[in-house]
């Protein structure tokens, strides 16, 4: 960290405290050259995730869209809201932790189906039917057969 008084790059941290409910760290520093003290703030860098849609258009990832899609799939099913929130949190964390800052909507859909498969099989099939755009009963049957094969 460069000293604002003499531009020296050597300083030592005297005190560190979390601020803004842990969202930032306040650091009190002392310059090793001029001995002046100054304060810095450390913030987690959040890089937006860009979703590349099937038509090649791009938009910023919206966790609410994902949550709403999963909620619709779980309509009238006995799935607790906190279970869905945890699944969306895990999907978002996986996206944030990937090195790619552009993620295809296909990948997000696959992650959602993977989570729903473990939460509720009916919700999984509902989500898959919309996401995979089943054209007829045979494509629907094929997805059901895959689900049944995974159980055995």
- The predicted model gives 21-37 an average pLDDT of 92
- CA separation for the pair 40, 99 (Å, rounded): 28
How would residue 75 be classed by pLDDT, with cut points 50, 70 and 90? very high
The pLDDT mean for the chain works out to: 89
Could you tell me the residue ranges of all domains in the chain? 11-43, 50-151
What share of the chain in percent tops pLDDT 70? Answer: 97
**So what's the pLDDT on residue 19?**
85
Does residue 6 register a pLDDT over 80? yes
**So what's the pLDDT on residue 13?**
95
Q: What distances in angstroms separate CA 8 from CA 5, 16, 29, 59, one per listed residue?
A: 8, 20, 12, 42
**So what's the pLDDT on residue 151?**
66
- The predicted model gives 29-47 an average pLDDT of 90
Q: How many residues does the chain have?
A: 152
**So what's the pLDDT on residue 139?**
75
Q: Evaluate whether 63 touches 52 at the Cβ level (below 8 Å).
A: no
């Amino acid at each position: 960290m460069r000293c604002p008084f003499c531009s020296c790059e050597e300083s030592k941290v005297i005190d560190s405290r979390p601020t803004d409910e842990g969202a930032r760290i306040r650091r009190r520093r002392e310059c090793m050259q001029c001995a002046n003290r100054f304060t810095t703030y450390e913030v987690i860098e959040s890089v937006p995730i860009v979703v590349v849609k099937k038509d090649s258009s791009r938009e910023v990832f919206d966790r609410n869209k994902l949550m709403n899609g999963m909620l619709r799939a779980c309509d009238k099913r006995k799935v607790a809201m906190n279970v869905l929130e945890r699944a969306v949190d895990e999907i978002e964390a996986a996206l944030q932790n990937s090195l790619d800052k552009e993620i295809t909507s296909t990948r997000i859909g696959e992650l959602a189906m993977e989570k729903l498969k473990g939460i509720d099989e009916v919700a999984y099939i509902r989500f898959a039917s919309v996401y995979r755009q089943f054209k007829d009963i045979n494509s629907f049957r094929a997805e059901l057969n895959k689900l049944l094969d995974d159980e055995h």
